[in-house]
Amino acid sequence: MGRPTSSSSSIDSPNHFAFSSTASSQRDLTTDLRLGLSISIAPPFVREQWPPMKAAVAEEEHECNSSTFYVKVYMEGIPIGRKLDLLAHESYYDLIRTLEHMFHTNIIWAEAEMDRDHYEKYHVLTYEDKEGDWMMVGDVPWEMFLSAVRRLKISKC
């Protein structure tokens, strides 16, 4: 974790305790992605352990640090959810592949084809957006999806 060590700057320097909200980000993202995602890119030495909250309450929603974006995924009928790093995926196809593997099922999304005779083998993938609405995954461009998604749900057909 990148904390600047005190020995590298003089104690009397006015910058020693300065807080700059425009310090360079440690993330390696395309400009589009950074603009689309309203994730804080405050310098780690301030963001670390701030604001002062106990872990359980602070980590409830998104866990966003320098290059990950974890969202919760629940499958219908199973109370214990999983967490998935969306930024570890390049595209919808990548995401679907991971989910099918994680949950051992076939996933229906906007671009999937389904064998209608065996619908019980399929699950539908939806996501909750910033407005709290549940939408089918795959209709909007991947980057737009990343900026809107809050969590995922896999439901029976």
Partner 1 sequence: MHKKMAFSFPDEVLEHVFSFIQSDKDRNAVSMVCKSWYEIERWCRRKVFVGNCYAVSPRMVIRRFPEFRSIELKGKPHFADFNLVPDGWGGYVFPWIAEMAGAYPWLEEIRLKRMVVTDESLELIAKSFKNFKVLVLSSCEGFSTDGLAAIAASCKNLKELDLRDCEVDDLSAHWLSHFPETYTSLVSLNISCLGSDEASFSALERLVRRCTNLKTLRLNRAVPLDKIANILRHAPQLVEFGTGTYTADVRPDVYSDLAGVLSSCKELKSLSGFWDVIPDYLPAIYPVCSKLTSLNLSYATIQSPDLIKLVSHCPNLQRLLVLDYIEDSGLEVLASSCKDLQELRVFPSDPFGAEPNVSLTEQGLVAVSLGCPKLQSVLYFCRRMSNEALVTIARSRPNFTRFRLCIIEPKTADYLTLEPLDVGFGAIVQYCKDLRRLSLSGLLTDRVFEYIGTYAKKLEMLSVAFAGDSDLGLHHVLSGCESLRKLEIRDCPFGDKALLANAAKLETMRSLWISSCAVSFAACKLLGQKMPRLNVEVIDERGPPDSRPENCPVDKLYIYRSIAGPRFDMPPFVWTMDEDSGLRLS
Amino acid at 39: I
Please say whether the beta carbons of 75 and 154 come within 8 A.
yes
Using the rule CB under 8 A, which residue among 34, 35, 53, 118 binds partner 1? Answer: 53
Based on the shown chain and the rule CB under 8 A, indicate whether residue 17 belongs to the binding site for partner 1. yes
Based on the shown chain and the rule CB under 8 A, indicate whether residue 76 belongs to the binding site for partner 1. yes
State the residue for tokens 């009928």: 77
Closest to partner 1 by CB, 10 vs 91, is: 10
Based on the shown chain and the rule CB under 8 A, indicate whether residue 11 belongs to the binding site for partner 1. yes
Based on the shown chain and the rule CB under 8 A, indicate whether residue 6 belongs to the binding site for partner 1. yes
| Cβ atoms within 10 Å of 71's Cβ, excluding its own | 20
- Which listed range, 12-20, 92-100, 102-110, 114-122, lies at the site for partner 1 (CB under 8 A)? 12-20
Using the rule CB under 8 A, which residue among 35, 58, 88, 110 binds partner 1? Answer: 58
Please say whether the beta carbons of 26 and 2 come within 8 A.
yes
For residue 123, give the nearest of 151, 144, 150, 152 by alpha carbon. Answer: 152
